[in-house]
């Protein structure tokens, strides 16, 4: 016992005495006497009552911690209040969060520990002790007890140095310090500015000043404050929020509904393997006691505590109503779960001195003066249960320029309001409203659902009556943006061009927030929720959750629309062709303007075009992934039909493998870059070719074809008839490569008339480069990232892909050899000889290695 005590004392865990067995007392040299309460907390002390009682005595701060608060879980959320200009962080953004608890040590110290465990076990099980023994919480601070309250027994300890230090709990992470290039905290220029305490939380504001290094003298490359002074000053708020004594009931995560989730490792005495349990993030919505019977009868009731979001008073006044509308739009979804008026947006009460924007009790849409074009919606949760405690949505001022650009390029062909650089406030307000709804959806626990738009037939996107009823996507959590499929002749109303709360959103809120009987066990609730999915969602494509993009599934893509990418993208490109010639006029604001607006808008149009190409390309070699429980019929994985893949390849032939001359408008290019510039289009084409001849994709197609052949051999002609009838014939790699070869090289048959354009020569070189990389993956390292090259090599080493590549290279070499003598044009002849030499060199290298 003495040896153990001495070892612990060397770690700083003991101060004045250690009780060994309630009789032996080991006294150490560094004895600090616990003083009378009134000597420490004098008459001059400024005292504030709350979760943690705060005392300020001259320049010292003391916590008075009640015994009842020992070992209680407290969530510490740290946020920026004010930040230096161009530092990349903004007032209101989260720095970090931790769950802590205070513990009384046997040496008259109060320990502050951070809870790190994600493992749980019932206290009734013997294994609970093993879980406890394997998850000791680290001690981040040990406070000397200066006094105790004679009446309550509460512990008083000084926290001045701790709050004013650069410690792991209350200040920046290593990554954040690196971003600011901070060296060390300057304590002489750092101080506690204010502490407030309330019944369930304590709020601490401090000013931290750091020395900082810079890599240049330019304020545009480094934080201006660091360049001009060598110092960076930050204002920080730390919220200590008491978590509920009884955690909210968990709702087990299901991959068929899109919620953010936390994971616990669950142990019990009767299991034969550790169970990994994920549970969703959601607010605690409960009916009021007086409405309990109404709620049981299925009537809409108001929750005990509404979800409230405040609008940052720094927000331009004209946008505040639209942000609030975006919040309130979610009420219709909560009605599906049995709650009315469940969520509301409010103006921040600037005159209420008891409220702070950084206070972790309040959810706020924070407005950032920033050139960034973004918004985001996080949530802060109780890690024990997934209960959402609060959220601070981040809203960057320059987001409006992105919305303007999107709307012009996606709807300019059908909405005259989009045809200028500064759109009307009414339209901008509606765009802000839709983004507000999307970000609030995240703060309610919902993930992106990139597959929602696939539930809408492409032709329905041109049907105003259908759109009025259903919207152009089934979820506002999709990146569906605006209805770019609508054509001018369709007369689509303006409200049917943009997203709104849809069927999936209502379904997801119903699934996540519907209450069940408290007597139901966790497993019984899980089964009930699974049956709910099977009964309501399995056969309703509008309730399908496609995630952020799954395993090469072309149904789940960002920025796409409709159930047929080739058709939707054809309509999209038709509209781009209408928009492009008008950009010169739409982007002009003043006579004195240069062409920067035109350049930005042309770049945005190219980006939209590239998205259309990508949406189609993903269908080739695609795999449908539909998560199911074992009670559901059908496969989880299915192939994209041969018909759909061939349709995609021919779309690419017509829209990118052939030169898209309509994009190369010299009236525009001559004003924003060198004449006849094709770099961006060529870069897009090269990316497409790399994908079409990807070793990973071809191996995947090969495995699918092999499975098809195996099924055909086992089940015979009936299987083939069924596959043909359902358009599920397999697109074999060799058939696909034959089609691609014909697309790229069909002009070789023209002999002396063969005269490819510069663009066609780029296409052919890109083909050759990628085919060589398939045959010799090590050759891909210069053209691909190291990881992609390794993946390509590892996934093709024991497949037919290399053999196929060799076959097509051999055929191409023969075709080139036959054609070269017939071609008299010097540039064309040089092009063919160059490619012939490339193949010959590769073959010679391969022979040497053998």
DSSP for 360-409? TTSEEEEEE--S---EE---EE-TTT-BEEE-EEEEETTHHHHHHHHHHH
Backbone angles phi, psi at 287, to 5 degrees: -70, 150
- What tokens does 270 get? 């009767």
Whole-number Å distance between alpha carbons of 311 and 306: 16
- Residue-range domain boundaries for the chain: 1-31, 32-242, 289-586, 642-849
> In the predicted model, what is the mean pLDDT of residues 773-780?
79
Share of the chain above pLDDT 70, in %: 90
28 or 790: which leads in pLDDT:
790
- From 17-26, 58-67, 625-634, the region with the lowest mean pLDDT: 17-26
Catalogue the long-range contacts made by 752-756 (C-beta closer than 8 Å, 24 or more residues apart).
Answer: 752/822, 752/823, 752/824, 754/819, 754/822, 754/823, 754/828, 755/825, 755/828, 756/828, 756/831
- Please say if the pLDDT value at position 480 is more than 70: yes
**Res 10: pLDDT:** 29
pLDDT in tens, 435-461: 999 999 999 999 999 999 999 999 999
The whole-number pLDDT of residue 720 equals 58
Q: What is the mean pLDDT of the chain?
A: 88
Which burial class, exposed, middle or buried, applies to 812 when counting CB atoms under 10 A from its CB (0-12, 13-18, 19+)? buried
Tokens 């009767």 correspond to 270
pLDDT at 7: 28
* Residues facing residue 18 across a β-bridge: 26
Strands 25-27 and 155-158, how do they pair?
unpaired
Which region among 252-261, 336-345, 575-584, 796-805 has the lowest average model confidence (pLDDT)? 796-805
Q: Examine the pLDDT at 514 and tell me if it is beyond 70.
A: yes
* CATH number for region 289-586: 3.40.390
Whole-model pTM: value is 0.89
Helix, strand or coil, per DSSP, at residue 421: coil
The Cβ-side half-sphere exposure at 223, using a 13 Å CA radius, reads 25
Q: Summarize the confidence of residues 823-834 as an average pLDDT.
A: 92
**Residue 139: what pLDDT?**
92
Mean pLDDT of the region 47-66:
95
At residue 87 the predicted structure's pLDDT band, cuts being 50, 70 and 90, is confident
The pLDDT value given to residue 26: 37
Torsion of CA 310, 315, 320, 326, to 10 degrees: -70
Q: With H, G, I as helix, E, B as strand and everything else as coil, classify residue 547.
A: coil
Share of the chain residues as helix, strand and coil, in percent rounded to the nearest 5: 45, 20, 40
pLDDT tens-digit series, residues 696-747: 899 889 888 887 777 667 666 665 566 555 556 899 999 999 999 999 998 8
d(Cα 193, Cα 186) in Å, to the nearest integer? 16
In 608-654, DSSP assigns E strands to: 623-625, 637-639
Whether residue 338 is predicted with pLDDT greater than 70 in this model: the reply is: yes
- Return d(Cα 735, Cα 739) in angstroms, integer: 6
Tokens representing residue 631 in the block: 């009670």
Q: Which residue has the higher pLDDT, 750 or 187?
A: 187
Do the beta carbons of residue 250 and residue 386 sit within 8 Å? yes
Residue 19 has pLDDT above 80, yes or no: no
What are the structure tokens assigned to 419, written together? 């045809």
Overall average pLDDT of the 618-640 stretch: 92
């Amino acid at each position: 016992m003495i040896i153990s005590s001495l070892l612990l004392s060397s770690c700083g865990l003991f101060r004045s005495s250690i009780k060994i067995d309630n009789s032996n007392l080991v006294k150490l040299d560094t004895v600090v006497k616990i003083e009378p309460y009134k000597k420490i907390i004098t008459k001059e002390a400024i005292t504030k009552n709350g979760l943690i009682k705060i005392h300020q005595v001259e320049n010292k701060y003391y916590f008075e911690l009640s015994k009842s608060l020992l070992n209680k879980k407290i969530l510490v959320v740290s946020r920026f209040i004010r930040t230096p200009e161009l530092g990349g962080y903004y007032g209101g953004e989260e720095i970090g969060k931790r769950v802590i608890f205070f513990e009384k040590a046997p040496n008259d110290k109060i320990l502050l520990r951070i809870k790190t465990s994600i493992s749980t076990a019932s206290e009734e099980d013997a294994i609970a002790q093993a879980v406890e023994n394997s998850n000791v919480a680290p001690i981040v601070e040990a406070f000397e007890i200066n006094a105790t309250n004679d009446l309550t027994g509460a512990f008083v300890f000084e926290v001045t140095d701790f709050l004013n230090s650069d410690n792991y709990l209350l200040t920046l992470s290593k990554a954040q310090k690196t971003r600011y290039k901070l060296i060390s905290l300057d304590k002489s220029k750092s101080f506690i500015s204010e502490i407030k305490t309330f019944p369930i939380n304590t709020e601490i504001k401090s000013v931290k000043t750091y020395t900082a290094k810079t890599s240049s003298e330019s304020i545009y490359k480094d934080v201006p404050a660091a360049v001009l002074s060598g110092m960076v000053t930050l204002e920080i708020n730390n919220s200590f929020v008491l978590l509920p004594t009884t955690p909210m009931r968990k709702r087990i995560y299901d991959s068929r509904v899109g919620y953010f989730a936390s994971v616990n490792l669950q142990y019990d005495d009767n299991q034969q393997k550790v169970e990994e349990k994920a549970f969703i993030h959601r607010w605690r919505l409960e009916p009021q006691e007086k409405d309990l019977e109404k709620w049981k009868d299925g009537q809409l009731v108001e929750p005990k505590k509404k979800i409230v979001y405040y609008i940052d008073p720094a927000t331009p006044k004209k946008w505040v109503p639209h942000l609030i509308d975006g919040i309130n739009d979610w009420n219709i979804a909560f009605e599906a779960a049995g709650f009315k008026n469940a969520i509301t947006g409010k103006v921040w009460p600037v005159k209420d001195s008891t409220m702070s924007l950084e206070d972790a009790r309040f959810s706020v849409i924070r407005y950032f003066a920033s050139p960034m074009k973004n918004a985001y919606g996080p949530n802060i949760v109780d890690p024990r249960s997934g209960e959402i405690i609060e959220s601070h949505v981040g809203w960057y001022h320059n987001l409006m320029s992105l919305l303007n650009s999107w709307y012009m390029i996606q709807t300019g062909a059908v909405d005259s309001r989009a045809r200028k650089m500064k759109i009307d406030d009414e339209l901008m307000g509606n765009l802000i409203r839709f983004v507000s709804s999307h970000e609030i959806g995240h703060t309610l626990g919902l993930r992106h659902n990139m597959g929602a738009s696939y539930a809408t037939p492409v032709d329905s996107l041109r049907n105003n009556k259908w759109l009025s009823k259903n919207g152009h996507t089934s979820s506002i959590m999709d990146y569906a943006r605006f209805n770019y499929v609508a054509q001018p002749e369709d007369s689509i109303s303006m409200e049917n061009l943009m997203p709104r709360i849809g069927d999936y959103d209502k379904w997801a809120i119903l699934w996540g927030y519907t209450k069940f009987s408290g007597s139901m066990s966790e497993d019984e609730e899980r089964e009930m929720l699974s049956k709910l999915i099977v009964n309501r969602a399995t056969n309703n494509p509008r309730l399908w959750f496609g995630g952020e993009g799954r395993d090469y599934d072309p149904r789940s893509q960002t920025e796409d629309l409709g159930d047929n990418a080739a058709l939707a993208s054809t309509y999209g490109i038709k509209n781009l062709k209408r928009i492009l010639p008008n950009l010169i006029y739409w982007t002009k604001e003043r006579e004195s303007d240069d062409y920067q607006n035109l350049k930005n808008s042309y770049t945005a149009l190219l980006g939209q075009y590239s998205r259309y190409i990508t949406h189609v390309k993903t269908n080739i070699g695609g795999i449908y992934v539909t998560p199911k429980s074992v009670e559901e019929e059908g496969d989880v994985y299915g192939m994209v039909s041969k018909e759909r893949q061939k349709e995609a390849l021919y779309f690419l032939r017509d829209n990118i493998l052939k030169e898209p001359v309509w994009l190369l408008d010299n009236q525009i290019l001559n004003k924003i870059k060198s004449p006849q510039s094709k770099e961006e289009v060529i870069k897009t084409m090269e990316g497409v070719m790399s994908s079409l001849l990807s070793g990973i994709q071809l191996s995947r197609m090969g495995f699918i074809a092999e499975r098809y052949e195996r099924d055909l051999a086992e089940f015979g002609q009936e299987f083939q008839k069924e596959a043909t009838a359902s358009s599920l014939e397999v697109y074999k790699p060799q058939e696909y490569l034959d089609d691609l070869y014909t697309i790229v090289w069909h002009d070789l048959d023209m002999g002396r008339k063969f005269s490819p354009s510069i663009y066609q020569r780029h296409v052919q070189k890109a083909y050759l480069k990628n085919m060589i990389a398939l045959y010799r993956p090590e050759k891909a390292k210069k053209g691909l990232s190291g990881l992609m090259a390794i993946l390509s090599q590892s996934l093709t080493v024991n497949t037919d892909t290399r053999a196929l590549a060799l076959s097509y290279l051999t055929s191409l070499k023969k075709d080139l050899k036959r054609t070269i003598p017939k071609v008299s044009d010097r540039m064309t002849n040089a092009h063919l000889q160059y490619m012939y030499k490339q193949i010959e060199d590769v073959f010679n290298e391969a022979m040497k290695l053998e």
